[in-house]
Amino acid sequence: MRGPRIKEEGEAYYHMISRVVDRRMIFDINEKERFRKVLRRVEAFCGLDILTYAILDNHFHLLIHVPARRDVTDSEFLERLSHLYDSTLVKTLAKELHQRRTEGQHEAAEALKAEFTYRMYDLSEFGKTLKQRISQSYNRRHGRKGTMWEERFKSVITQGKPGALASVAAYIDLNAVRAGIVADPKDYRYSGYGEAISGSERARECLTGVFAGENRTWRQVARGYRQFLYVRGEARGLTPEGKPIREGFDPAKVAEVLKANGDLTLNELLHCRVRYFTDGLILGSQDYVDDMFQRFRSRFGEKRQTGARPMRGGFSGLFSARRLRLAVITIPASG
């Protein structure tokens, strides 16, 4: 049984992952599009930022920015409700809220809002709401009953610095490439990067948040972020001199390096499956992971003295809270 989830107080960033029960491939093109729309509605209701995401056939990845909790005005409260609830309920609540304010019953008005606002600015409530909404929609349309998800979602708390955030974001946006669905991540419409490239202002705003504190424009982000993304799969074609026309991901070379316990380039790493991103618990610089370790000291064994563990394989400057040993980096079966 897993222990309590590690969550930061106030503003924080998380990589969230969840899989369909029995890993069934239930998300076809139509289901993925429905998922994307529900995702954006729950995001708006909860007041979070989905920096990027990937919706695959039987699981999803999200990189989430959770802002510090703050008070929500009555008008903002009602606007957020409209993203998840029908207009009749919203109008009813608006009328009741207005009446309590008019009568000077401000504590009662805040109590009414609290029945919904406790689900805002909270990772667990966001995950619960999202998965419930997806399950209810799918089950209703397919005449299905029962749980739809394998287990509670996984989450890795990630340092809110561009180095860590960009690595996790790129890992997420390259899921469709690793799965062999597309050769270029921009062509996968059910991802944050694909949605941003297609012109979505919200997706572009969120992806810009990957470079927290750097005040970049979308044009700057698009150019810089793409450097993290390997555009094509394997190298194709040779020049007259026998050199690859387009440098690409070479599975044979990667397998050789991994066998020799050597380091890979960042592009090679991001094209592999890396368990640190899903099971590392805490991800960031050495100081950040050590600090988080001390704050959540009771969640770790008594004999453990330090928190930060270097991420093997070539992740320069990045550490995790878990020293993973088995199948830390693997090449996708699709190559």
Q: Residues 132-184: pLDDT tens digits?
A: 999 999 999 999 988 899 988 999 999 999 889 999 999 999 999 888 898 88
Cβ atoms of 279 and 3 within 8 Å: the answer is no
239 falls in which pLDDT band (50, 70, 90)?
low
Is residue 334 pLDDT above 90, yes or no? no
Pick the more confident residue, 272 or 247.
272
| pLDDT at residue 249, rounded to an integer | 66
Say which residue the tokens 């020293």 belong to: 323
Q: Residues 297-324: pLDDT tens digits?
A: 988 888 888 899 999 888 888 999 998 9
246 falls in which pLDDT band (50, 70, 90)?
very low
Which of 27, 52, 58, 7 has the alpha carbon at shortest distance from 222?
52
Q: Which of 69-83, 217-231, 292-306 has the lowest mean pLDDT?
A: 217-231
Cβ atoms of 54 and 176 within 8 Å: the answer is yes
Cβ atoms of 221 and 212 within 8 Å: the answer is no
Regarding the domain with residue range 12-69+124-330, which homologous superfamily does it belong to in the CATH classification?
Transposase IS200-like (3.30.70.1290)
Pick the more confident residue, 177 or 64.
64
Q: What is the pTM of this model?
A: 0.90
The sign one gets for the Cα dihedral 206, 202, 218, 33 is positive
Domain boundaries, the chain: 12-69+124-330, 74-119
